[in-house]
Structure 1
Amino acid sequence: MSDLGIYIHVPFCGKKCGYCDFYSACYSKQQAELYVSAVIRNIRHYGDGERKVDTVYFGGGTPSLLSPHQLGEILGCIGECFDVDKDAEVTIEANPNTLTPKRLAGYRDVGINRLSIGVQSMNDRELKMLGRTHTAERAEKAVRDAHEAGFGNISCDLMTALPHQDVNSLDSTIERLTELPIQHISAYILKVEEGTPFDCDDIRSVLPDEEKTAGLYLHMVETLEKHGFMQYEVSNFARKGFESRHNCRYWKCRDYLGIGPSAHSCYMGKRFAVPRDLEGFIGSEVQQTEITDESPCGFEEYAMLRLRLREGLLLSRVPEHRADIEKKLPALISAGYAEYNGECVHLTAKGFLMSNSVIEYLIF
């Protein structure tokens, strides 16, 4: 049986950001304790003591609202119920405001070895517009404190195509970020999600148009790579050897088990999701799930996910589709969207920018 990644969705936030459509609820100490107990019940339900686990990822929400003790209880239970690799990558997403030296030391002590810090920008005006409660100075301190606490694998989130953002402000953020002791950057284009507070004319009217958004994205890719952060996926950049092992599971159709309200899984040959309902999750002996795909990772899904990665799609893995793909490649190559070496096709930075359309043309 193949190895496994475990994703824990921690749904608590101190303050909901206006652009975010991930499931979250207001934090309370009592709810957090009940939530941790429910997570542990579910780990015991799924665990068999034998399945090898080599990545654990706490996403949210704001997982760093949980204490080191609470996260340690969860990790301890995973260790009892699964065969956890001694070199497992264990990640927690964190808000800079929650990361004190004491808390960071506690996270290290319970086995967390990778941080993903929600910086978003190193420009205070942009941070305020996004509704973030930290400043650029606070984000910088959080990263430096994490490094001092012994974290050698730190990722920061970066957002581009923000209202009024230009190349100069983006460059300033990138320069300041890449001077910090970090190894990974997840860089996202701001997308207005339906039903969020940003889904309004006031925000849409000040967003950059498609041409400017494209220019900012391509400039970001080029600048990050000049600083040693190579693009290995549409929105992810890393120094060599620091690619997110857990997230690569998603793009390589490898098994992962999701626990918590709104968590998704690709596990035991099926895809399934947990309802976006904290009370329901806490109140159930075992989390309720809804099957979303009875037979995942067929050709179309496999090819689509592989093409999100810079390493691309090896056509020898899909021999029955090779001829059809090769017929379509010349147009993509001449437009600068893809490259092909006779065995593997991968998208360029320009192709990643148009990835949905390019992938749809290539494989559907």
Structure 2
Amino acid sequence: MNTLGIYIHVPFCGRKCDYCDFYSVNWSSSAAVDYTAAVLRNIRHYSDTARTVDTVYFGGGTPSLLTAEQTGSIISEIRSCFDLDSNAEITLEANPCTLNAVKLKELRSIGVNRLSIGVQSMIDEELKMLGRLHTARRAEQAVLEAAEAGFENISCDLMIALPDQKTESMRYSAEKLAALPIQHISAYILNTENGTPFDCAEIRDRLPDEDDTAELYLGMVELLEKRGFMQYEVSNFAKKGFESRHNCRYWKCMDYLGIGPAAHSCYEGKRFAVERDIAAFIADDVQQVTVTDEAPCGFEEFSMLRLRLKEGLLLDDVEEHKADILRKLPPLINDGYAETDGERIWLTPKGFLMSNSVIEYLVF
């Protein structure tokens, strides 16, 4: 297929969350203007009207800090330089504090048709502990305003296994989100990333242990599926037909082009990454990239990514390794980590919880 996804990394934040290690800098209006101009230059550099773009994803950072006009200019440039599918999924990540009824209507008018709202929790004490700027009430209002503005594809982020978190608080947040007019939930287990404020003994000592984390995760999967949000990937749940088309590109080794500081690409047979430096990105005529893989999507990577999906790995796609995988499979099935119908293998929620170890055992 000649389709392409485009990822735009918007590296601005109002304030960096204490757990986050994604590349971001403080927002300023002048930096946003210069950044947008650099994005437009790079879109023109990669211009290829023979490629049909069927997903566009504004990630960050906080992409909703850009004005609707700036976001719209980027979408318009993609439309001019590529064959932008009329049914393309165009996603914008947003912080609840940056959304209001007027801006949401503007975003709809420029072509954004999917929102990914960073809620994380519906409990104010947890939000404060995470360093989030919004309250649970503001998060709920943002979702309701988005639905009122005409958004019919809304995703919310949920974070679990927080310091001191118990099952009751996880269930409360999950239930509150599931009751909102949304179609997708991305649910992540909190990790303490190196170099972040959460990378300290005070936080690590308060995190749920392995057994409690498993109870939280498996309980969340069960709750969300009862509410109609079916698990289709390790950390992603959707109502039928609302799986993230852009993120599925990553897990299916399909082409995507990343633009912006810290953006990654799998494009025209190579993986490459842009330097984590907004000043360099703005100064350079074309973003400078480092090739990270000259031949991506070999057996190991292809299998690893496919096994992150609930649909799993089709054994005929890895014919040369089929016998070895089948030989390793029985103990995983016996222990409840994997299942098979003879043609495909997939991980159970219990297997997803241990996905790194299970996939390493099967594939490497």
Structure 1 length-normalised TM: 1.00
**Amino acid of the residue matched to residue 291 of structure 2?**
I
The code of the aligned residue for 1:22 comes to F
Partner of 1:25: 25
* SS of equivalent to 2:194: coil
Q: Provide the rounded CA distance (Å) in 2 between the counterparts of 1:310 and 1:205.
A: 32
1:250 maps to amino acid: Y
- Partner Cα distance (2:302, 2:168) in 1: 38
2:68 corresponds in structure 1 to 68
Rounded to whole Å, the distance in 2 between the matches of 1:217 and 1:175 is 14
Aligned to 1:296, the other structure's residue is in SS state: coil
1:335 aligns with 2:325: no
CA distance in structure 2 between the aligned counterparts of 1:170 and 1:193, rounded to whole angstroms: 21
Shift of 1:153: 0.1
- The alpha carbon displacement at 1:201 in A equals 1.1
More moved, 44-53 vs 246-255:
44-53
Aligned pairs for 1:129-144 within 5 A: 129-144=129-144
Mapping of residues 72-221 of structure 1, within 5 Å: 72-221=72-221
What's the CA shift string for 1:302-353, capped at 9, x where partnerless? 0000000000000011111000000001010001000010000000000000
Give the distance between the partners of 1:99 and 1:161, measured in 2 at CA: 27
The separation in 2 between residues aligned to 1:319 and 1:179, in whole angstroms, is 44
Equivalence for 1:243: 243
Q: Distance in 1 between matches of 2:45 and 2:108?
A: 27
- SS of residue in 1 equivalent to 2:193: coil
Letter in 1 for 2:11: P
**What number of residue pairs does the alignment pair up?**
364
Q: Deviations over 1:162-209 (max 9, x none)?
A: 011111111111111111000000000000000001001111111111
Report the counterpart of residue 267 of structure 1 in structure 2. 267
- Cα drift, residue 133 of structure 1: 0.8
Identity in percent: 69
Aligned equivalent of 1:290? 290
Q: Deviations over 1:30-82 (max 9, x none)?
A: 00000000000000000122210000000000000001000000000000000
Alignment of 1:310 onto 2:286 = no
Q: TM-score, normalised to structure 2's length?
A: 1.00
Residue identity in the other structure for 1:113 = N
Unaligned runs of 5+ in 2: none
Structure-2 separation of matches of 1:320 and 1:200:
45
What is the alpha-carbon distance in structure 1 between the residues aligned to residue 85 and residue 328 of structure 2?
42
Moved more, 114-123 or 44-53: 44-53
Q: Does residue 344 in structure 1 map to residue 321 in structure 2?
A: no
Amino acid at match of 2:289: T
Q: Which amino acid aligns with 2:97?
A: N
Deviation (angstroms), 1:150:
0.1
The DSSP-based 3-state class of the residue aligned with 1:49 is strand
* 1:82-109 deviation digits (Å, cap 9, x = unpaired): 0010000000000000110000000001
Matches of 1:302 and 1:317, distance apart in 2: 9
| SS of corresponding position for 2:34 | helix
Off by >3 Å, runs of 4+ in structure 1 = none
CA distance in 1, matches of 2:89, 2:292: 27
How far apart are the structure 2 equivalents of 1:338 and 1:145?
41
Describe the SS at the equivalent of 1:208: coil
CA distance in 1, matches of 2:187, 2:350: 15
- Using the TM superposition, name which of 165-174 and 7-16 deviates more: 165-174
For residues 260 and 269 of structure 2, the distance between their equivalents in structure 1, rounded to whole angstroms, comes to 20
